Structure 1
Amino acid sequence: MVNDNLTDWQRMQLAQLEYNDWQVNDDVLLPDGIMIGTVIKVINTNDGFRATIIKSGPHELTLLFRGSSGVRHGDPTTWTNEWLRVNLPVGDAILNQVPEVPGEMWTAVNHLNELLEQNPGRKVFIYGHSLGSINAQFALANCRYPQQIQRAYLYEGPNIYWLLDNQQRKIVLQLRTKIFNYIDPLDVIALGYLDRQHTIGLLQVVDSIMSNPVNQHMWGGYQFDNQQRLKILPEGILSRRAIIDQRLLQHAAQFKGER
């Protein structure tokens, strides 16, 4: 399979392609010329959900969940469709431990399950960054066909594990070894990762370098070795960011109790 042969560096490049404005029948190539496949469907719904489906082989599909357009590439709908409707409510829900899920996340669930149902003989690889990671995490937690998920590579999204019910947590536990959840501890968006157990997938804490906040969120702190392998912190290290998040959750709980 095409995705099986990619390096960490190439997977990051592929995830970055989720921000391109693809059209059906476009060929998807990495900057080094590696062919990922051909676009077979572009999804752009009224609630702001965006994704691209790529046919990467006779038995392989690649699904790119698009993240937030952001300050640099956004338009007037960026704040309404992406930040106000999804990113900010999810952040608030995580801090206050209130499982309120925006509609766009349920749209992601429906499109993933529809794709799997319509392609029973194909394995699916999933990529998502930021808002794309949020939608991918929730879609996977509600996946009706987990056996068709080959792997998922998620980057710089907050930890929505805290928003899941018991049944959803059972599904992500079943998929745990198939999901690689990358976070830069210096990225303020990657909120809510207190340990490596209460997460969606296998948490990969990046051994990052400092950059400006926007660049940090856009993979700017990632480091790779000469084999294009991403530098990851040892599992035994509790990141400074986890300590900060723990304090934020404690303060939020205390504030909630005082109101």
Structure 2
Amino acid sequence: MSQNITDKERVEVAQKEYEDLKLREKVKVIKSDEKEKTIGIVSKINNKSTGEQSYIITDKYTPPTASISARNQVKELTILYKGSTAPSKANIMDTKHPEFKDVRNDWLDNDIPTAIQITNGGGPTVTFQLKSSAETLKQAMRLYPNAQVYVYGHSLGSMNAQYAIADLDKKDINRISGGFFYQGPNIYSNLTPKQQDTIKAINALDRLFNFVDRKDYVPIGYGIGDPTIGHLIEIESTKAQLLNNLHNTSLLNSKKIFILELKYRKSTV
């Protein structure tokens, strides 16, 4: 992997999916020495009718409209898939609320149908948001053909990221330098046999990492011995937390994630 940042800093990158980033904005993390490191620059923002919201970040500002020559020079590509908009009485009931459409797209059209599917044994029929997320990744890889790719997602964004990688042609998986999924359901059972075969191949490369805290209500489908998209790394919240806060605080528990992934990697060397 050429994206030379720590596991703790990767959590900071994933958190950026919830920020209101702008085109041409530098995406930065704070390193252990308190200095800033630039991950890349926002080159495209997706806000699709399917509810998918994602950022395309390149090592230098290179929008999809740039010349082929310029796009060929991009060496590193990062995709952030945003998680679900948190539901509230206001944004569910008020049709004029700015988050009304987002909440319905995320929960009614994606989260709930996928959860029902997973708890009933899965199946290869998936939501339009998962499909559009897969197209986002494939299109970005076509636009920047020489770039190594990093994919991040939390919650619904984790599902989008998992599915996007699974839907790649097997010939393209070597371009995936890292996939980092936080607190999302296990959608392996929702994949086709071809997609599952792709995941088996990329899992063997040790480039995908799937972090879950079982105290959270969102990461479902992780039964003992069940196959997963990426290496499953379990974290535990360090103190009693209210159920409605755990889903977000687990992502923020970056120190615990860093320690556990480090232990995992040492055990596999």
TM-score, length-scaled by structure 1: 0.82
- 1:188 corresponds, among 212, 217, 228, to 217
The aligned residue for residue 56 of structure 1 is 59
- Structure 1 range deviating more: 110-119 or 194-203: 194-203
Preserved CA contact (<8 Å) 1:64 1:128: yes
The aligned residue for residue 26 of structure 2 is 27
The aligned residue for residue 67 of structure 1 is 83
Residue 140 of structure 1, CA deviation: 0.8
Preserved CA contact (<8 Å) 2:11 2:254: no
The 1:208/1:113 distance shift into structure 2, 3 A limit, reads same
The aligned residue for residue 246 of structure 1 is none
Residue 233 of structure 1, CA deviation: 11
The amino acid across from 1:22 in the alignment is: L
Distance 1:232 1:26 in 2: 30
Moved over 4 A (4+): 232-235
Preserved CA contact (<8 Å) 2:7 2:261: no
Preserved CA contact (<8 Å) 1:206 1:232: no
Distance 1:14 1:187 in 2: 21
Residue 215 of structure 1, CA deviation: 2.6
The aligned residue for residue 12 of structure 1 is 11
Residue 98 of structure 1, CA deviation: 4.0
Distance 1:125 1:234 in 2: 22
Matched, 1:172 2:202: no
TM-score, length-scaled by structure 2: 0.79
Preserved CA contact (<8 Å) 2:215 2:236: no
SS at match of 2:23: coil
The 1:114/1:222 distance shift into structure 2, 3 A limit, reads same
The aligned residue for residue 131 of structure 1 is 156
Distance 1:90 1:16 in 2: 23
SS at match of 1:80: helix
- 2:229 corresponds, among 193, 196, 200, to 200
Distance 2:51 2:45 in 1: 13
Distance 1:85 1:224 in 2: 34
Distance 1:8 1:214 in 2: 25
CA deviation vs aligned residue, 1:138-158 (integer Å, no higher than 9, x gap): 111101221211110000000
Provide the identity percentage.
Answer: 30
Question: What is the 5 A alignment of 1:1-259?
Answer: 3=3, 5-31=4-30, 32=34, 33-56=36-59, 58-71=74-87, 75-99=99-123, 100-144=125-169, 145-176=172-203, 177-195=206-224, 198-209=227-238, 210-220=240-250, 222=253, 224=255, 229-231=258-260
Distance 1:125 1:180 in 2: 12
SS at match of 1:87: helix
Residue 234 of structure 1, CA deviation: 8.1
Q: How many residues align?
A: 232
Residue 2 of structure 1, CA deviation: 6.2
CA deviation vs aligned residue, 1:210-233 (integer Å, no higher than 9, x gap): 3222331113473626xx833369
Distance 2:77 2:180 in 1: 14
Distance 1:19 1:115 in 2: 20
Residue 184 of structure 1, CA deviation: 0.8
Preserved CA contact (<8 Å) 1:62 1:124: yes
5+ residue gaps, structure 2 = 61-73, 92-98, 265-269
5+ residue gaps, structure 1 = 236-259
The amino acid across from 1:122 in the alignment is: A
- Structure 1 range deviating more: 191-200 or 73-82: 73-82
The 1:196/1:205 distance shift into structure 2, 3 A limit, reads farther
